[in-house]
């Protein structure tokens, strides 16, 4: 029986922790702030587990102990000490530790250079604006790339409702509030991929408002940014040329921009280098030609309430051509 209970407890622990594994796990920190939050979490969890164990032992002694042991618990100081002094000391200590962790974020904000990246919360995706090599803004969407090692200040804004920017592996969350500019500093310890998620309920497709953060080695970052600042690759194959023509003719450019073409809409995500991103539609879909076609044709089924209408007017040939064109935009 005892064996069974132990096994069930182990199983529950494994199930609870496996739910947090991977690119979006606060328990696998890869940023300075997340490492501090992780340590705070394990410290509080450890203290709580120790105290729970102690209470269980004391209850067991009080219920089943010998009369001599039970008499030892029957003292006033146990109530004063264990019921008031001990909790006040422990909770004050944990509280101060929590404040120190909070404050160290402020220090990082001061150390970081002025924000060169702005992320704007949209319904329900993320607009990302970098400062390009020549100082011009470079707009992209639903993916953030930052260099490893140094503190990167990111300006967080919204022009609609409140969102919350959270990349659990890198740092704590910070709200994006209309009319305000909040600054969050990310300092990734090593290159790698993390996933972020909007952490404030913001309406219809809130649950599908996610994104990827790719941390690049410092020396690769500048090359990547220079490429990101460049215009879109012109269509090459016959199908891509046909796709661009269908895209322009059907007014897709009224909402989406593809730099270097006549598409200059600012309502939906910029598509200039769509093909190089990890996901589509704010991490709602993997990035593939089939997924692009599916998104255009039945996006309300994939991400209900998103603000893009479904384009069911396209013939299969047109749909494939548009998808091939957009996929080629690396
Ligand atoms: Cu944006 Cu929730």
For the CA of 176, the nearest atom of ligand 1: 1
Q: Which residues of the chain have pLDDT under 50?
A: 19-20
User: Tens digit of pLDDT for each residue in 194-232?
Assistant: 999 999 999 999 999 999 999 999 999 999 999 999 999
Model pLDDT, residue 16: 56
- For the CA of 162, the closest atom of ligand 1 is 1
Write the residue with the smallest CA distance to atom 1 of ligand 1. Answer: 163
| Pocket of ligand 1 contains residue 163 by CB under 6 Å | yes
- State residue 113's pLDDT score: 78
State if residue 121 touches ligand 1 by the CB under 6 angstroms criterion. yes
For residue 202, give the ligand 1 atom closest to its CA. Answer: 2
pLDDT of residue 22: 87
Ligand 1 centroid to Cα of residue 199, in Å, is: 6
User: Ligand 1 in contact with 206 (CB < 6 A)?
Assistant: yes
pLDDT at site 106: 75
- Is the minimum distance from the CB of 202 to ligand 1 under 6 angstroms? yes
306 C-alpha to ligand 1 centroid (Å): 12
Q: What is the pLDDT of residue 183?
A: 92
Q: Is 201 in the pocket of ligand 1 (CB under 6 A)?
A: yes
- For the Cβ of 69 lying below 6 angstroms from any atom of ligand 1, the answer is no
Distance 196 CA to ligand 1 centre (A): 11
pLDDT recorded at residue 170 = 95
273-325: pLDDT as tens digits: 999 999 999 999 999 999 999 999 999 999 999 999 999 999 999 999 999 99
Beta carbon of 200 within 6 Å of any ligand 1 atom: yes
What's the confidence (pLDDT) of residue 141? 96
Q: What is the pLDDT of residue 108?
A: 77
Q: For position 114, what pLDDT does the model report?
A: 79
Crossing angle of helices 316-327 and 289-302, rounded to 10°: 110
Distance 175 CA to ligand 1 centre (A): 10
For residue 21, what pLDDT is reported?
59
Q: Please give the pLDDT value at position 13.
A: 59
The predicted pLDDT at position 256 comes to 97
Q: What is the pTM of this model?
A: 0.86
Does 209 contact ligand 1 (Cβ within 6 A)? yes
- Cα of 80 vs centre of ligand 1, distance in Å, is 47
């Amino acid at each position: 029986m005892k064996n069974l209970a132990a096994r069930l407890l182990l199983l529950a622990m494994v199930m609870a922790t496996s739910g947090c594994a991977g690119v979006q796990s606060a328990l696998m920190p890869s940023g300075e702030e997340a490492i501090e939050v992780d340590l705070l979490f394990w410290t509080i969890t450890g203290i709580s587990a120790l105290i729970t164990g102690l209470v269980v032992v004391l209850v067991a002694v009080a219920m089943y102990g010998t009369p001599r042991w039970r008499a030892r618990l029957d003292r006033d100081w146990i109530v004063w000490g264990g019921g008031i002094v001990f909790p006040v000391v422990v909770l004050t200590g944990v509280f101060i530790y929590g404040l120190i962790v909070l404050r160290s974020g402020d220090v990082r904000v001061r150390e970081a250079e002025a924000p060169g990246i702005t992320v704007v919360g949209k319904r329900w995706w993320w607009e990302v604006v970098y400062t390009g090599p020549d100082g011009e803004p470079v707009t992209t969407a639903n993916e953030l790339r930052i260099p490893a090692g140094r503190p990167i200040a990111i300006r967080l804004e919204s022009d609609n409702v409140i969102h919350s920017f959270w990349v659990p592996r890198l740092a704590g969350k910070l709200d994006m509030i209309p009319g305000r500019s909040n600054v969050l500093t990310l300092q990734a310890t090593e290159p790698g991929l993390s996933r972020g998620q909007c952490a404030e309920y913001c309406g219809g497709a809130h649950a599908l408002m996610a994104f990827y953060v790719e941390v690049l080695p410092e020396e690769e970052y500048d090359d990547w940014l220079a490429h990101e600042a460049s215009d879109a690759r012109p269509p090459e194959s016959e199908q891509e040329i046909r796709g661009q023509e269908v895209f322009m003719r059907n007014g897709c450019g009224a909402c989406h921009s593809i730099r270097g073409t006549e598409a200059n809409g600012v309502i939906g995500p910029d598509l200039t280098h769509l093909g190089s991103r990890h996901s589509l539609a704010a991490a709602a879909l993997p990035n593939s030609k089939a997924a692009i076609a599916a998104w255009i044709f039945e996006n309300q089924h994939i991400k209900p309430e998103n603000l893009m209408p479904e384009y069911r007017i396209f013939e299969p040939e047109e749909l494939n051509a548009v998808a091939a064109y957009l996929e080629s935009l690396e």
